[in-house]
Amino acid sequence: MNRFLAFVKKEFYHIFRDRRTLVILFGMPVVQILLFGYAITNEIKDARIAILDKSKDHLSVRLIEKIRSSGYFLIEDYLNQEVEIEKLFKEGTIKLVLVIDESFAQNLEKQHATNIQLLADATDPNTANTLINYATAIIRNFQAEINSGTLPLTIIPEVRMRYNPNLRSVFLFVPGLITIILMLVSAMMTSISIAREKEVGTMEVLLASPMQPGQVILAKVVPYLMLSFINAVVILIMGKFIFGVPINGSLPLLLLESILFILMALSLGILISTVTQSQQAALLISLMGLMLPTILLSGFIFPIENMPPALQVISNFIPAKWFIIIAKSIMLKGVGITYFWQETLVLVGFTILFVALSIKKFKIRLA
């Protein structure tokens, strides 16, 4: 019994002397609770919308003010023509457009039915459906206010879901799943593979070979580049022919953007391997530092717009966020690179940054 207690005591000493273990035991649970608590929410607030008011009378202005003051919507733009709607949707700057017909007040005062169009970006079907429900509830409440509930319903919301009219959630998950798989295979497996060579002592043997260090690293990451690309193609084929997910844009452009994201993930995996000495450490950093933020803060499942401002800022440093925007734009909206060239440059910037840091760290370890 005394030996058992002594062993338990020794293990406690080892745990408390290892800062990395302490961070994993006590730091990670706190971070995960905060992320899940703030990121996982179905509430909608400050959703960016646009309004096309063809009537511009006192009742349409009153309705717009009611929508603006609800706390659910931020009016991003006031449109003058219907042709502006498609451009805003493709740019991804708004989630909903409210179109008020002409003679809005006149029709209501005469108790004539009048339409209000609600056009939603349904690339994220859950968000689109929630926004439509909120807007419809506000319109009905406005109707009740102006007629004190004594007149029949004369405002008829006409709902249209753009890019995903049937609100199929698989349209959202396939682009996100591609991102998760590419990050998993490229970054995590690359970091573990190189860390394994260092852990068993074979990395020094490889570096002592006639091959240059850069060639050694490149030889180890090329297989993961090929496997990741094959995974992306398989997911696209399954999404297209099994689930009916469209690819409305350019397939070659989508594949090129996928290769760019794979290269970024590979460079990140190399960077992780340069700061770790064991497979376990590389695995923990990959899982805790990459997978959870990718799932929670990339917009894959939970809308970034609903998160606190601090997490919205942090999400900008999650590479997966930018690739998901690109994948949705090509697959669902069918747009070209002119609509997401900034996101592409962000991925290029991440790749250059990770490669530069990897080279620097790698040289320090050889010194």
What pTM was estimated for this model as a whole?
0.75
96 and 192 part of one domain: no
Among 162, 187, 203, give the residue marking a domain's end: 162
Same domain, 274 and 346: yes
Is residue 281 assigned to a domain?
yes
Q: Which of these three, 162, 189, 216, is where a domain ends?
A: 162
Shared domain for 55 and 109, answered yes or no, is yes
- Total domains in the chain come to 2
Same domain, 281 and 357: yes
Judge if 246 and 342 occupy the same domain.
yes
Kindly tell me the sign of the dihedral angle through the C-alpha atoms of 176, 180, 185, 190. Answer: positive
Domain boundary among 139, 162, 185: 162
Domain with 137, as residue range(s), is 47-162
Residue 83 lies in a domain: yes
Residues 211 and 142 in one domain: no
Give me the tens of pLDDT residue by residue for the chain, a chain 367 residues long.
Answer: 665 565 456 555 655 676 655 565 556 555 654 554 555 555 677 788 999 998 888 888 989 999 988 888 889 999 988 888 888 888 888 889 999 888 888 877 777 667 788 999 888 888 888 889 889 888 888 888 777 655 555 676 778 888 887 777 778 778 888 888 888 778 877 777 777 767 776 666 656 656 666 666 776 777 878 888 888 888 888 888 887 888 999 999 999 999 999 999 989 988 888 888 777 777 777 777 777 788 888 888 778 877 888 888 989 999 999 999 999 999 999 999 999 999 999 999 999 999 888 877 765 444 4
Question: DSSP letters along 22-75, please?
Answer: HIIIIIHHHHHHHHHHHH------SEEEEEEESS-SHHHHHHHHHHHTTSSEEE
* Separation of alpha carbons 174 and 155, rounded Å: 37
- Asked if the structure places residue 28 within a domain, the reply is no
Give the domain CATH number at 111.
Answer: 3.40.1710.10
- 315 in the same domain as 206: yes
- Verify that 196 and 217 share a domain, yes or no: yes
Q: Are 354 and 191 within 8 A, CB to CB?
A: no
| Contact assessment for residue 101 and residue 157, using Cβ atoms and an 8 Å cutoff | no
Q: Is residue 133 domain-shared with residue 279, that is, in the same domain?
A: no
Same domain, 144 and 177: no
